[in-house]
Amino acid sequence: MMLRSREVKGSHFSYPVELHEDFQGLRERLTSLPKVSSIIIITNRKIAGIYEKYIVKELRDSAIPFHILYTKEGEKNKHIDRVKKIYHELIKLDIDRKAVLVAFGGGVVGDFVGFIAATYQRGVRFVQVPTSLLASVDSSVGGKVAVNLDMGKNMVGAFHQPEFVFAPIFTLSTLPKKEWSCGLAEITKHAFLDAGPLLTLLEKAKRSDFQPKSSALLDSIDESVRIKSLVVGQDERETGLRAILNLGHTTGHAIESLTKYKKYSHGEAVSIGIMTALLLSRELLHFPEASLQRAIRVMKALELPLQIKENPEDILKHMFHDKKREGNQLKFVLLEDFGKPKFGITVGRDQILKTLLLQKGMKELG
């Protein structure tokens, strides 16, 4: 049963993002795409272990042949070196340009399969079937696809929009707790960027309200998709506005790399980074104190971490390792208030350090 639907519209693309109870309706959706020669589902072994039987049941009577290919799980396998194996498997199966690839999994699978779809035989169509909260609210929407190099994350990629996004919500019932934080942090980011109904919803919510099929969850995914769509619809290729979607990511990435991607999930690090951005916003853009207190209440109720545990000097070093640094300054996305983001704000090293030290000392964030 379809639970919610949104259209993502840009100057040369338009596609629906649909939230479904389960996989029912996926076959009809896929076979109604024009002139499909075959359907290639690409997933990882973990997702396959839990959900392959359901997707096979849905597709087994399909008039169009389908195949399932497997990738290794985890960010380190969203790697250029893993791409060739899938190209070879597609060629062995005689897959032509009328095939549709299905990215079935979290954001890692989505970015990886999207990259293969953007490049195999100069580009084939693909569909996103996200199974993590982060993929449902963020990575499946907007067409950024990429793989990693040894030299860095997402270093090779493309903008390649899916034909549609079909999110089978019941799969979230097996999502690990840390992965919920990832999605909730990105939802919070969207809420602060927009200041509309999503922020109101989050203000009334607590973490335990977010359950598969709960209206809090469905409405917040739907609203997140609306907010992200508005941005990518105007600036698909991140020539400007799309940069606002990086709120919290400058500090977040530095904390992730400082702690070697082990201590925090991406969303937890972004959550701490959002707090840094809000403290900088208060200092530099007069972000109101009352809004800061609202943000702290919302994020605490969602059990997102806000407190810096690491040494601020070390975080700073990792920030300035990032390729986007400009001498002694970095560019941040900051807020004048909720719903009033500003991107490309240059902040000096001393100001960043002062803010990180302030954040570390704020007992109310713990």
How many Å apart are CA 111 and CA 155, to the nearest integer? 12
Q: Binding of ligand GLY at residue 194 (CB under 6 A)?
A: no
Each residue of 109-135: b (16+ CB within 10 Å) or e?
A: bbbbbbbbbbbbeeebbbbbbbbbbbb
Q: Binding of ligand NAD at residue 135 (CB under 6 A)?
A: yes
Q: Binding of ligand NAD at residue 235 (CB under 6 A)?
A: no
Q: Which stretch binds ligand GLY (CB under 6 A): 99-107, 137-145, 311-319, 346-354?
A: 137-145
Q: Which one of 14, 174, 208, 346 is in contact with ligand NAD (CB under 6 A)?
A: 174
- Among ligand NAD, ligand GLY, none, the one that 236 touches (CB under a kind-dependent 5 to 8 A) is none
Q: Binding of ligand GLY at residue 144 (CB under 6 A)?
A: yes
The nearer residue to ligand GLY, 110 or 312, going by C-beta atoms, is: 110
How many Å apart are CA 251 and CA 332, to the nearest integer? 9
Please, are residues 355 and 276 in contact by the beta-carbon 8 Å criterion? yes
- Among ligand GLY, ligand NAD, none, the one that 242 touches (CB under a kind-dependent 5 to 8 A) is ligand GLY
Q: Please work out the total of residues on this chain that contact ligand GLY, with binding judged by CB under 6 A.
A: 5
Site for ligand NAD in 311-330 (CB under 6 A): none
* DSSP label at residue 332: E
Q: Which stretch binds ligand GLY (CB under 6 A): 60-68, 74-82, 136-144, 277-285?
A: 136-144
Each residue of 270-304: b (16+ CB within 10 Å) or e?
A: bbbbbbbbbbbbbebeebeeebbebbbebbbbbeb
| Nearest in space to 187 (alpha carbons), one of 222, 220, 229, 144 | 220
- Check whether 250 is labelled as a binding-site residue: no
Site for ligand NAD in 55-74 (CB under 6 A): 73
- Check whether 283 is labelled as a binding-site residue: no
Q: Give residues in contact with ligand GLY (CB under 6 A).
A: 138, 142, 144, 242, 245
Binding residues for NAD(+): 73-78, 107-111, 131-132, 144, 153, 171-174
